[in-house]
Amino acid sequence: MYRSNVPRNAAQRTPRRVSRSAGHKRPGRKPLSWKQRLAIAAVTAVLFLPIWAVMARSLAPTSNTSLTRFDTIVVLGTPADSDGNPTPEQLARAHRGGSRVQERSSLAPDSHRGRDPLRLCRARVMAHAAEAQGIPESAILVEPNARDTIQNACYSARIMKAHGWRSAEIVATAPQLPRAGLIFNALPLEWTAHTAPRLSPVSPAYEGALTAVEVLKTARYLIWARWADHCEP
């Protein structure tokens, strides 16, 4: 018999396989730099904010009351053209506001006629348009200082408070109303909204552009303006 030099458990050992890349570690993924993270966050915000704004607009209130008679009518302002003449949008708003005054005056008791004023903000030319429609000057209050919808709402609420008025009908064109609903819903008022229909047809592209602008304004309101531009009525 010959004594083997092979260890007894050699047959039980599993040969160890050595990878060709042994000793060479796979390089790990480098962490993102702050610039890359900032870029990703910016892209995410650009994609998310319009979606958030569209959802908020679709859920925006159009009224917070069941009232059928209101103390006043607030016609939200919009700029005149470069020559100071009323734009079609201004005329549409003034026409709708004037129509609401006339409708209510014809239904109201004699003792209440003339007590429901037409509020026209930001453009005196809108007041002239309302007067041309037959609305008496005594029924029109012009607030010329507001420069955006938040100020329209806040300054109107201040005037209403000074006169003891607590309820209002809000008039604006369709693209603006959802944002206006979000803004007025934060005020201590009872209100309902009315759309000012176009007095003449507009192209779908033009209407779409106005809606796109309002979506961006709604996004700005949600993330910034409702705190930064907050106004106490």
- pLDDT single digits (tens) 95-109: 787 777 767 654 333
Q: What angle do CA 202, 143, 155 make, to 5 degrees?
A: 100
pLDDT higher than 70, residue 211: yes
Strand pairing class (190-195; 140-143): unpaired
- The angle subtended at Cα 187 by Cα 182 and Cα 193, nearest 5°, is 55
- The vertex-138 CA angle with 136 and 142, nearest 5°, equals 100
d(CA 194, CA 99): 11
Q: Residue 23 has what pLDDT?
A: 52
pLDDT of 11 above 60: no
Q: Tell me how far apart the alpha carbons of residues 136 and 127 are, in angstroms, rounded to a whole number.
A: 10
The Cβ of residue 22 has, within 10 Å, a number of other Cβ atoms equal to 7
CB neighbour class for 66 (10 Å; exposed up to 12, middle 13-18, buried from 19): exposed
94 pLDDT tier (thresholds 50, 70, 90):
confident
Average pLDDT, the chain: 79
Selection from 125, 122, 121 nearest residue 88 by Cα:
125
Q: In this predicted model, what pLDDT tens digit does every residue of 28-62 receive, in sequence order?
A: 677 878 777 888 877 787 789 899 999 999 999 99
Q: How sure is the predictor about 16, in pLDDT bands with cuts at 50, 70 and 90?
A: low
Provide the residue type at 233 as one letter.
P
Please give the span between the terminal C-alpha atoms of the chain, in angstroms, as a whole number.
Answer: 110
